[in-house]
Every structure is written in C-alpha cells, then in structure tokens.
Structure 1
Amino acid sequence: MKIIRQVCIIDDDPIFVFGAKRMLTKNNFCSNIEVFTNGKDALENILPRNDESFPDIIFLDLNMPVMDGWEFLDEFSKSSKKCKVLLFVLSSSIDSVEVQTAKTYDVVFDFIEKPLSKDKINLLKNKLEGRDL
C-alpha cells in the first residue's frame, strides 16, 4: 500500500490522540496527521480546502464537546467533498446500535474500536489496498 498523504483525527482525548499519532507514524501509515478536538473546528477547517489539501482519511470519535461525531456526520454528509475521503468512526465501546447507526451514513467506510493498535492498522492497510487515495 502506498503511504497515505493526509490523515485527520477528530477526537478530544489527548491520550488517545497521542497514541494514535504514534501508531500511525510508527507503522508508516501516513505522512501528515492533523488533529481537531471537535467536529465544528474540523468542519470549519476542512470543508473550505481545495482537493490537494483535503484529507485522504478521517478518524472520527463520536463523543466530543461542541459538536460530536454524529453531528459532524450529519453536516459532512451534505458536503460535495464527502466522496474525496474515507471516514472511519472510532469508539471506545462497540455498541451494536452505534455500529449500525454509523453504517447508515454512506460516508462511513468502517467502524473501529479504540485504541488503534498495530494489528488494526495492518487490517486497515489491507482494506485500503488497491484503493486510489
């Protein structure tokens, strides 16, 4: 798999973000990682961008202040740029209702249980093999 150019993590937990950035970097998953602590800041920053600076992948937490992951999904799903990104929903609990609800959004590529590990990153790499990012 080619290295992914731009990843965006939308999560308010600094411990998770630190670990996720470390795992993604250590496993050569991407060359650039940016972080937003809520969906509102992410939308305001990402949506106005041109294609060159738009993220390839978004990792989205569901529970955050200001604008949570569900609200982000509602707004992002309306964007014409939604097809330019693969979005992964992250959660510390795999609640079957959350998983099923997340899968109703066409923009959601997959649901991942926290934390990110080497095995999960390798599984992601396999799922992304052959995709044009």
Structure 2
Amino acid sequence: MSKNYSFCIVDDDDVYQFTIKKTINSLNIAKNIMAFSDGEEALNFMIENLHNDEELPDVILLDINMPIMDGFQFMEEYIKIKPKLDKKITIYMISSSVDASDVERANKISEVSDYIIKPIKEGQIQSILLELSNQ
C-alpha cells in the first residue's frame, strides 16, 4: 500500500470532515484531501476538472444527507458525467443512516462501491485502500 491516493470528502458536517481528514492523514496514504460541504460543490469541481486526472480524486467519501444536493442527487449527476472522465474514481457512500431503504438504494447504484455507516473507522479506510490497490 505504498501508493498515495487523492481523497474527496463530500459532507456538510465540519466535525466529521476534520476527523476523517485526521484519520486519513494518520495512515500516511493521502497525496491530497479535498472537502466539499454539499454535492453541488463537488459536482462543479468534477465538471471543471473532467480531463484533469491530477486534480480529480481517486476516492470519494460521499455523505447522503446534505443541503443543496444530497448524495443520491450527486450520484445521478455523476453518472451523467462519468463517461467523460478518463480516470476511475471509487465512490463510497458514508452516512449515519442505518435505514434499510438508504442502504438498498445505495447498493442499487453500480458506481457506489460500498455503503459505510458513520463513524468511519481506521480499519475501514485500510480496507478501502486494499481494494484500491487490487484494482
């Protein structure tokens, strides 16, 4: 797991953003961590950098419940721009929701690698890295 990855955190919770950045940094595996407080901000960034693989993240940690554009709305729009992307981006939906309908809805989106219930733990980040290194 020597490769460093670029992470994108899309979550409106500042405390969560802080703690997940700290967790990722403690593992010494991030070349970059960007954060957006809603799906629209993240989507706009993706569109602006469609052909700039260096700027685009390797991994997106996407919250479901956010103002302006939630995680599911983000995914609807992401699916539209995905064919224009040259880079493979791995997306994990991260939520405090244990509602079975949210989990099922996320699992139906083929672009979502997994649904992880907050708080995300260091071991879960390591599992994500293992999956990435096997791709």
- The Cα RMSD (Å) is 1.6
Query: What is the TM-score with the length of structure 2 in the denominator?
Result: 0.89
Match of 2:96 in 1: 92
Deviation at 1:103, TM superposition (A): 1.5
Query: What is the TM-score with the length of structure 1 in the denominator?
Result: 0.90
**Runs of 4+ in structure 1 displaced over 6 angstroms?**
none
Counterpart-to-counterpart distance in 2, 1:44 and 1:72: 10
Counterpart-to-counterpart distance in 2, 1:51 and 1:88: 19
State whether structure 2 residue 31 is matched by structure 1 residue 27.
no
Where do 1:1-133 residues align within 5 Å? Answer: 1-49=1-49, 50-79=52-81, 80=83, 81=85, 84-131=88-135
Q: Aligned to 1:52, what secondary structure does the other structure show?
A: coil
Q: Percent of aligned pairs with the same residue?
A: 35
Deviation at 1:130, TM superposition (A): 1.9
Does the CA contact (< 8 Å) of 2:53 and 2:87 recur in 1? no
Deviations 1:60-102 (A, max 9, x none): 0000001111110110011122862000000112222111111
Counterpart-to-counterpart distance in 1, 2:91 and 2:4: 13
Counterpart-to-counterpart distance in 2, 1:90 and 1:74: 16
Deviation at 1:125, TM superposition (A): 2.4
Instruction: Give ranges in structure 1 of 5+ residues lacking alignment.
Output: none
Range moving further from structure 2, 97-106 or 80-89: 80-89
Does the CA contact (< 8 Å) of 1:3 and 1:28 recur in 2? no
Q: Aligned to 2:105, what secondary structure does the other structure show?
A: helix
Instruction: Give ranges in structure 2 of 5+ residues lacking alignment.
Output: none
